[in-house]
Amino acid sequence: MANPNAVSGASTFKIISTIARNTFREAVRDRVLYNLVIFVLLITASAIFLGELTAGHEARTIVNLGLGAMLVFGAFISIFVGVSLVSKEIERRTIYAIFSKPIGRGEFIVGKYLGLCLTLLVNVLVMGIGVSLAILAVGGGSLALTIWGAIALLYLELAILTAVAILFSSFSSPALSALLTFFVFIIGNFTQSLKDFALTIGSSSGKLFFDVLYIILPNLSFYSFRTNAAHGELPSAALLGGAFLYAMVYIGILLTVTILIFKRRNFK
C-alpha cells in the first residue's frame, strides 16, 4: 500500500477553526463587508446633518440611529448569509469534496457557524467604532465608551439569530428559512408581551401553550439595551452575564438540533 502509516487527520479544533476561517474569507470575498461602507456613510451623514434637526441632541440620536442601524445591518447578514451558509454548499456541491475528507458533519456546522460569527464580530466592531467616532465628533463624550455595553448585547443577539438561521436552513429552503428566521427575530423581540399575554388568558392549557412558546423562542428583548445606552447607561453585570449564558445555552441547543438533522441528510 502507498502509505501503511495512514495520516491520522487534524484535530477537531483545528478542523473547526480552518472551516471558520474559510467561511470568513468567503464572506470577505463575496463582499459581505461592503455594507460597512454604507454604514459609515450613513453615520457620517447623520453626524453632519442631525445637529440641525435635534437641537443639540446629536449624540443621543446618533446612538439611537447608529445602534439601530447596526442591528438592522447585522440581522440582515445573520439572516441572509446564515441561511445560505450551508444550503449554498449543498446546492453548489462544494460539500462533496469536504465530506470525502475526514470531517464530521458536526465539525462542519460548528465551523461554518463560527465563521459567520467572526464575520459579524468584525462588522459589529467596525460599525461600533464608527458610531463611537461619530459621537466624539459631535461632542458626545463618554457616550462613545458606554455604548459598548449595548453593542456587546447586540452582538449576542446576532449570534443567536445566526444559529436560528442555520437551524432552519438545515431542513428547509433558503427562502423559507430566511422568512422563518425573520419571524423569530420579530417574535423574539415580543416574547415578553407573549408572556404577559399568557397571564391574561383564562384557560390553563392556553396559558401553558404560551409559556412553552416563551421558553422555546429566544427572548431577544433581553438584548435590546439601545434606548438605555442613549442615556449613557451601562448594562449591569447581572444582565450582561445572564444574557451571555442565555445566549451560549440557547446557541448550544440550536446547534445540537441542527447537527442532529444535518447528520441525517442525503446530499443528492
41 or 193, CB closer to other proteins? 193
CB atoms within 10 A of CB 116: 26
DSSP code for 222: G
Diameter of the chain by CA atoms? 80
Select the span of 98-106, 158-166, 168-176, 198-206 touching other proteins (CB under 8 A). 98-106
Give the sign of the dihedral formed by CA 222, CA 226, CA 228, CA 229.
positive
Among the listed residues 25, 139, 173, 201, the single contact to other proteins using CB under 8 A:
25
The contacts of residue 244 (CB under 8 Å, 6+ apart) are 156
Residue 195: burial class (beta carbons within 10 Å; 0-12, 13-18, 19+): middle
Q: Does 26 bind other proteins (CB under 8 A)?
A: yes
Q: What is the DSSP string of 153-197?
A: HHHHHHHHHHHHHHHHHTTS-HHHHHHHHHHHHHHHHHHHHHHHH
Cell of 5: 502509516
* Window 187 to 226, contacts with other proteins (CB under 8 A): 189-190, 192-193, 214-216, 219, 221-226
- How far is it, in rounded angstroms, from Cα 105 to Cα 102? 10
**Which of 42, 98, 121, 198 contacts other proteins by CB under 8 A?**
98
| Candidate residues 33, 36, 42, 64; the one interacting with other proteins per rule CB under 8 A | 64
3-class SS of residue 62: helix
Write the single-letter amino acid at 236: S
The site that binds other proteins (CB under 8 A) totals a number of residues, namely 83
From 87-95, 158-166, 168-176, 200-208, span contacting other proteins (CB under 8 A): 87-95
Binding of other proteins by 252 (CB under 8 A): yes
Look-up: residue for cell 404560551?
210
Question: Is the Cβ–Cβ distance between 86 and 173 less than 8 Å?
Answer: no
Q: Is 78 among the residues that bind other proteins (CB under 8 A)?
A: no
* Contact residue for other proteins among 37, 38, 99, 152 (CB under 8 A): 99
Task: Give 1 or 203: the residue with its C-beta nearer to other proteins.
Answer: 1
Q: Which of 36, 44, 57, 121 binds other proteins (CB under 8 A)?
A: 57
Q: Which is nearer to other proteins, 203 or 268 (CB)?
A: 268
For 71, the 3-state DSSP assignment is helix
Interaction of residue 134 with other proteins, rule CB under 8 A: no
Residue 142 is a binding residue for other proteins (CB under 8 A): no
Assess 39 for contact with other proteins (CB under 8 A).
no
Nearer Cβ to other proteins, position 180 or 185?
Answer: 185
Of the candidate residues 24, 43, 60, 116, the single one contacting other proteins (CB under 8 A): 60
Which of 20, 47, 70, 71: binder of other proteins (CB under 8 A)?
Answer: 71
User: In Å, what is the CA distance from 55 to each residue of 32, 52, 60?
Assistant: 36, 6, 11
In the region spanning residues 156 to 175, those forming contacts with other proteins, defined by CB under 8 A, are: none
Q: In the complex, what is the shortest distance from the CB of residue 34 to other proteins, in angstroms, rounded to a whole number?
A: 14
